[in-house]
Chains A and B, each alone.
Chain A
Amino acid sequence: MPILYPLVVSSLLFATGTYVVMARRHAVLVLMGVELMLNAVNLNLVTFDAYWHDSLDSGQVLALFTIAIAAAEIGLGLAIVLLVFRSRSSINVDELRELADRDEAPTA
């Protein structure tokens, strides 16, 4: 199989994830976009592992590692989303702007 196919797929995945992270407002969807980007990277890792015939299979090992981290991260992320929703009954990322550099306290 030419290496181009998995790379194109992974690029599409990554682009989709990026778009979701950049454009969607719903926090859960943003987390899903992050997940897509991670998995695009995982696909790349596995692809190149197979392509180079790495004797240590470090690409696969790293992909497993990333999956574990992604799982932990999504758990943490969903917990944050839950807390945000509880405190302000909205999980619109547009409205979460407390980290901005402001002179006066935010009014909204």
Chain B
Amino acid sequence: MTALLVVALPLLGAAVALVGGHRRRLVAPAAACVSCGAAWVCSLLVAAAHLGDAAPAVVGPYVIGTGGIPLQASLYVDQLSASMLLLATTVAVLVQIYSVAYLRGDPRYPSYAALVSIFTASMALVVVADDLFVLLVGWEAMGACSYFLISHHWELEEARAGAVKAFVMTRLGDVGLLFGIFVAGDAAGSYRITDVVQAASSGGIGRTQATAATLLLLCGIVGKSAQFPLHSWLPDAMPGPTPISALIHAATMVAAGVYLLARLLPLFMLSATTMTVLAVIAAVTMLGGALMALAADDLKRVLAWSTVSQLAYMFAALSIGGYSAGVLHLLSHGAFKALLFLAAGSVIHAVGSQRLDSMGGLRSSMPVTFATMTVGFAALAGLPPFVGFFSKDAVLGVAGEAAFHGDAQARAWLVLVVGLVVEVLTAAYATRAWLMMFFGRRRSDVARAEPHESPWFMSGPLLVLAILSTLGGVAVVRPGFLGVAPEPFHAATALVSLLAVAVGVAFSASEWWRLDGHDPSRRLGPLRPALAAELGYDRALMSAVLSPVRVAMRTVVASESDVVEPYARGVGTGASWANRFLRWLHNGDLQRYVTAIVFGAVAVAVVVGIVQ
């Protein structure tokens, strides 16, 4: 029942913030922070009860008859749900505290705080739902909240465009998700996730059905988690407030896709086709995302592309069956990516620009942000002893294990090789962004007055997340809390990946020295503008998808106005002319009526005579 509270409390807080937020200035921040904090306490209780070997808790089911397979509204909390709840509520409460300072004086703060709370509640609903349709409710509510939050600054053209793009692209995937739910529920005879997983692991679902269901579900997962080919909404969602980016990228929204895949992994494991598709998608996405992140000029876009790339890491791990590796990376990425985004927000707050080349030399003026963001970048690059090192090692370890001993070796090799290449790139872009932000000369021509450290409401959450990103490794080395067999430390892959990280760092650092404090990505040469333009993916999408649709639209409009409309119009015109004629006849002259009657009668008589 505590899990239900995690869903209900933020909703309550949202209602209070919405109703009272505009009357008193303190109501909205208090309601938002207190409700999310209470939800966090509840999820701590849940985690204390359910991490480790504890048996999962079930609430319900409340069966709703449909005439077909019934809906069974129920909650299910196991190790995965509990850890996801903890992650989501931790990030949410920190984001709420941070937003109090970040959005100080914003007239839309009450609705913003309420939407963040609803967002958190939706994510909590997704991770505790035990019915695919209950999950879908939370899933869609999150999509709607992300739309509203990305378009928070709706007076900006790009914010509106980004929000619409995010909504449309995730909805596109959700169509697949909905049909995937139908197919999976039909195959398993129940929409309960536990029943579906049970049926999948006991052989109750055929291979063909599993392939159909998982490929459809994968559409929704790819859309929600911004994987190729539905990845481009995530970087375009950056005009939203920075704390929202932290929330979307770390703990909710994009994490929901990975969560669903991890939750239904036994079903996905039935279909080698889906897993291969997933591995290829993950490989393409992680490589592409890392390259884009290396070339992007905008700090938030760097982080966004890095999220795309890191999410692909999780999918890569899951595609070779590395359940705990994928989930661990999800959790550790949640911690350090939230840290990076909140720290980026702090920098943007101080500098007044998101462009990397307008920053520089911020090391001395923003010491807390510098220290915490360094931890974040180190975790992102995978440096020991930060949390990212351990979770990436888990991923690559599983890949290495499968590549040498497993039965899906092609997939595992793909993941292993691309994963190592991406390690190099990740280290390179993390170092590049770090150097460009905090070292070198201050670009005073673009920046506002003297950059200053952010208030404690903003740097406090940074410190908490930095501690989590540093000490999280301790929890990650002992992944028994997920209730699965602990993964041993993989010495061989760890060594190779450390080497890869060193290569990446060395590349950026040496270019930085060689170019005397200029963007190291200049070394990419002619590739750089192409990458910065994101390889024209959006334009290609536009010409491949939108142009045919536009042509079809124009055809429909033309056929409507030139073919269908004249008939409709003709009826009107005909009636109008008939009306004019009849009015002319009906002029009130009785004798004319008589004349008409007489001649009409004669005409009828003549016609009848002729016909007979």
A68 to chain B, nearest CB (A): 24
B598, closest chain A residue (CB): A18
Contact residues in B for A21 (Cβ distance below 8 Å): 591, 594
B598 lies within 8 A of A97 (CB): no
- Could you tell me if B588 and A100 are in contact, using CB atoms closer than 8 angstroms? yes
Contact with B along A41-66 (1 / 0, CB 8 A): 00000000000000000000000000
Q: Which residue of A lies closest to B589 (CB)?
A: A97
In the bound complex, do residue A22 and residue B587 qualify as a contact, i.e. CB atoms below 8 Å apart? no
Question: Is B590 part of the contact surface with A, judged by Cβ < 8 Å?
Answer: yes
Which residues of A sit under 8 angstroms from B583, Cβ to Cβ?
A: 101
Please, which residues of chain A bring their CB within 8 A of the CB of B522?
Answer: none
One digit per residue, 1 when the CB lies within 8 angstroms of any chain B CB and 0 when it does not, for chain A 14-53 equals: 0000100111000000100000000000000000000000
The answer to the question of B595 belonging to the interface, with a C-beta cut-off of 8 Å to chain A, is yes
Judge whether B590 and A100 touch: CB under 8 Å: no
Instruction: With A18-B598, A22-B595 as known contacts, state yes or no: A96 contacts B586, CB within 8 Å.
Output: no
> Closest CB-CB distance, B196 to chain A, in whole Å?
72
CB <8 Å contact, B588 and A22 = no
- Quick one: which of A58-108 are within 8 Å of B by CB? 93-94, 96-102
| B534-568 interface with A by 8 A CB criterion | none
Partner of B591, one of A22, A98, A99, A102: A22
Q: Do residues B598 and A99 form an inter-chain contact, with CB atoms below 8 A?
A: no
- When the two chains form their complex, are residues B594 and A100 in contact, meaning their CB atoms are under 8 A apart? no
Query: Which residue on chain A has the smallest CB distance to residue B582?
Result: A101
- Note all chain A residues with C-beta closer than 8 A to B586: 100-101
**How many whole Å from A101's CB to the nearest CB in chain B?**
5
Asked, given contacts A22-B595, A22-B598, whether A93 binds B590 with beta carbons under 8 Å apart, the answer is yes
Q: CA A102 – CA B583 in complex, angstroms?
A: 8
Pick the contact of A93 from B587, B591, B595, B598 — CB < 8 Å? B591
**B590, B594, B598: the one within 8 Å of A96 (CB):** B590
- One digit per residue, 1 when the CB lies within 8 angstroms of any chain A CB and 0 when it does not, for chain B 576-599 equals 000000010011111100110010
How many chain A residues sit at the interface, stated as a range, is 10 to 19
Report the Cα distance A76→B503, complex, angstroms.
118
User: Smallest CB-CB separation from A99: which chain B residue?
Assistant: B588
Nearest CB of chain A from residue B582's CB, rounded to whole Å? 8
Alpha-carbon separation in the docked complex, A97 to B587 (Å): 7
When distances are taken between beta carbons in the complex, the residues of chain B under 8 Å from A18 are 594, 598
Residues from chain B with Cβ under 8 Å of A97 in the complex: 587-589
Complex: chain A residue closest to B591, CB-CB: A22
* Chain A residues within an 8 Å CB radius of B598: 18, 22
Q: How far is the CA of A98 from the CA of B590 in the complex (A)?
A: 10
Question: Using a Cβ–Cβ cut-off of 8 Å, how many residues does chain B contribute to the interface with A?
Answer: 10
Partner of A94, one of B589, B594, B595: B589
Contact with A along B194-216 (1 / 0, CB 8 A): 00000000000000000000000
Closest residue of chain B to A25 (Cβ to Cβ) is B591
The count of A-to-B residue pairs whose CB atoms sit within 8 angstroms is: 32
A85 to B51, CA, bound (A): 108
CB distance from A44 to the nearest CB of B (A): 15
A101: which B residues are within 8 A, CB to CB?
A: 583, 586-588
| Contact assessment for B588 and A98 in the assembled complex, using a CB-CB cutoff below 8 Å | yes
Minimum CB–CB distance from A89 to chain B (whole Å) comes to: 19
> Given the complex of chains A and B, what is the CA–CA distance between A22 and B590 in angstroms?
9
Q: Which residues of chain B are near A30, meaning CB under 8 Å? A: 591
With A18-B598, A22-B598 already in contact, the answer to whether A94 and B587 are too (CB < 8 A) is no
In the complex, residue of chain B having the shortest beta-carbon distance to the beta carbon of A103? B583
Output the least CB separation between A104 and chain B (Å). 13
A-chain residues with CB within 8 Å of residue B594 when the two chains form the complex: 18, 21-22
Hey, what's the 0/1 contact readout for B169-183 against A, CB within 8 Å counting as 1? 000000000000000
A100 to B588, CA, bound (A): 4
Question: Roughly how many angstroms separate A6 CA and B244 CA in the complex, as a whole number?
Answer: 106
Which B residues lie within 8 Å of A99 (CB)? 588, 590
In angstroms, how far is the closest chain B Cβ from the Cβ of A92?
11
Q: How far is the CA of A97 from the CA of B593 in the complex (A)?
A: 12
Look across to chain A and name the residue whose beta carbon is closest to the beta carbon of B590.
A93
Residues of the A chain whose Cβ atoms lie less than 8 Å from the Cβ of B595: 22
| Cβ contacts under 8 Å, A22 to chain B | 591, 594-595, 598
In Å, the complex CA distance between A18 and B601 comes to 12
Assembled-state Cα–Cα distance A21/B595 (Å): 9
Distance of B585 from chain A, by nearest CB (Å): 9
| Residues on the B chain within 8 Å of A93, using CB | 589-591
A42 nearest CB across to chain B (Å): 19
Q: Which residue of A lies closest to B585 (CB)?
A: A101
CA distance A90 to B591 in the complex (A): 17
Q: Tell me the smallest distance from the CB of B581 to a CB of chain A, in Å.
A: 12
- A96 to B592 CA separation, bound complex (whole angstroms): 12
CB-based nearest A residue for B599: A22
Q: Which residues of B contact A102 (CB under 8 A)?
A: 588
Bound complex: CA A93 to CA B595 (Å):
14
Q: How far is the CA of A18 from the CA of B594 in the complex (A)?
A: 9
Q: What chain A residues lie within 8 Å of B588 (beta carbons)?
A: 96-102
Q: In the complex, what distance in Å separates the CA atom of A30 from the CA atom of B593?
A: 14
Closest to B592 in A: A22
Q: CB-nearest residue of chain B relative to A34?
A: B594
Smallest CB–CB gap between B206 and chain A, Å?
A: 75
Docked Cα-Cα span, A106 to B437, in Å, equals 88
A35–chain B nearest beta-carbon distance, Å: 15
Q: Offer 28 A-B interface pairs, CB within 8 angstroms, sorted by A.
A: A18-B594, A18-B598, A21-B591, A21-B594, A22-B591, A22-B594, A22-B595, A22-B598, A23-B591, A30-B591, A93-B589, A93-B590, A93-B591, A94-B589, A94-B591, A96-B588, A96-B590, A97-B587, A97-B589, A98-B588, A99-B588, A100-B586, A100-B587, A100-B588, A100-B589, A101-B586, A101-B588, A102-B588
Q: Which residue numbers of B lie inside 8 Å of A, CB to CB?
A: 583, 586-591, 594-595, 598
13 extra interchain contacts, Cβ-Cβ under 8 A, other than A93-B589, A99-B588?
Answer: A21-B591, A22-B595, A93-B590, A94-B589, A96-B588, A97-B588, A98-B588, A100-B588, A100-B589, A101-B583, A101-B586, A101-B587, A101-B588
Those 5 A-B pairs whose CB atoms lie nearest each other, nearest first: A100-B588, A97-B588, A101-B586, A99-B588, A100-B587
